[in-house]
Structure 1
Amino acid sequence: MGLKEEFEEYAEKAKTLPENTSNENKLSLYALYKQATVGPVNTDRPGFFNMRERVKWDAWKAVEGKSKEEAMSDYITKVKQLQEEAATASA
């Protein structure tokens, strides 16, 4: 299985992470996903009154230096880590 296929598989698995996954972890996944699928930030930073989108934009901007492949690999690793944490917490 190639990196892109594995990434797509883990993008689906990420949708099944528990509701109590921290916002910090969700932001990290969002940023890596955007970097892997879109590449570097290609929009202006949202305004001050749109805090939710602004925080997401900032998270994406923070991983801007990663290649698409590196972002895919980091995304897969992060989903695996969160799945393990969820399994341990529910055991």
Structure 2
Amino acid sequence: MGLKEEFEEHAEKVNTLTELPSNEDLLILYGLYKQAKFGPVDTSRPGMFSMKERAKWDAWKAVEGKSSEEAMNDYITKVKQLLEVAASKAST
């Protein structure tokens, strides 16, 4: 399986988590996903009254220097980590 296919598979797997990840983890995933799919952020930063959109923009901007492949690998790693945590919680 190629990197892109594995990335897409993990993008679907993240939706199977029974517990919503923390906001921090969600923002990390968001930034990595956007960087992997679309490259560097290409919009202006949302205003201060759009706090959610601004946080998402900041998360994407934070990974701006990563290549698409790096972002895909980091995304896959993060999803695996979240799945492992969920599995360990389920077994206790």
Sort the TM-score into its range (normalised by shorter chain): over 0.9
Write out per-residue CA displacement over residues 22-71 of structure 1, whole angstroms, 9 at most, x where no aligned residue.
11101100000000000000000000100000000001000000000000
Any conservation in 1 of the 2:32–2:63 contact (CA below 8 Å)?
yes
SS at match of 2:16: coil
Distance in 2 between residues matched to 1:89 and 1:19, nearest whole Å = 10
> Which residue of structure 2 aligns with residue 75 of structure 1?
75
> Which residue of structure 1 aligns with residue 64 of structure 2?
64
> Which residue of structure 1 aligns with residue 2 of structure 2?
2
Unaligned runs of 5+ in 1: none
Q: Where do 4+ consecutive residues of structure 1 move more than 2 Å?
A: none
Q: How does 1:20-39 map to 2 (within 5 A)?
A: 20-39=20-39
Q: Give the paired residue count.
A: 91
Distance in 1 between residues matched to 2:12 and 2:20, nearest whole Å = 18
Q: TM-score, normalised by structure 1?
A: 0.96
> Which residue of structure 2 aligns with residue 46 of structure 1?
46
When the two chains are superposed, the root-mean-square deviation of aligned CA atoms in Å is 0.8
Unaligned runs of 5+ in 2: none
Residue 18 of structure 1 and its aligned partner are, at CA, apart by 2.9
Report whether the alignment pairs 1:85 with 2:54. Answer: no
Q: TM-score, normalised by structure 2?
A: 0.95
What amino acid maps onto 1:48 in structure 2?
M
Percent identity over the alignment? 71
> Which residue of structure 2 aligns with residue 15 of structure 1?
15
